[in-house]
Amino acid sequence: WKLGREEVLAKLEEFIAARLKSWFVAKGFATLAVEAVLGADIRDVWALSARLEALDGFSRAKDYEQSVLTFKRAGNIIRKQADESLTGQYDPSLFEEKAEKELAKALEAMAPRFDELWAKDGYAELMGVLRELRPSVDAFFDHVMVMCEDEKLKNNRLNLLQALVSRLSRLADFNALQL
């Protein structure tokens, strides 16, 4: 073998992802939706298919575009930081704005429900959970300056967003969706 084990596995995963993409697109799913779901995880094809069905259903909702824009914004902020120190662990005592307190409260209330639905493969219901969460995320973006001067405060806010994005990214790569 001319390639190392990790490179072979990466190439194999790329090959499988390309075949899955072709197959799902041929079944009538939107290319961007397929790419978004493939971007989350391809190791469980049944779950991938179920997540794609859920995303496809979610895409028919009237608030789909606004939801995607909201979640893409969160993902873009985290991706731009490319900071491995972001763990999704935040300190509520550092919150200054009502909107960041409300988002943390909404995330904490949503977490057990998300985990329960995830364990039951309730992907369509998880899209509904995201829909419920969106107003808190929108308010956060409307009223909180994430990239503020205070490093401690900025990192805490970034970790709050990381807590959101880490859950979103299990369902789909919302950044792959273009509107």
Number of Cβ within 10 Å of residue 21's Cβ equals 17
Q: pLDDT tens for the chain, 179 residues: list them.
A: 588 889 999 999 999 999 999 999 999 999 999 999 999 988 899 999 999 999 999 999 998 999 999 999 998 888 887 666 888 899 999 999 999 999 999 999 999 999 999 999 999 999 989 888 999 999 999 999 999 899 899 999 999 999 999 998 899 998 888 87
pLDDT at 101: 96
pLDDT at 80: 85
pLDDT at 138: 95
pLDDT at 2: 84
Q: How far is CA 72 from CA 5, 24, 154, in A?
A: 33, 23, 19
pTM of the predicted protein model? 0.86
- Exposure string (b/e) for 97-108, b if CB count within 10 Å is 16 or more? eebbbbbbebbe
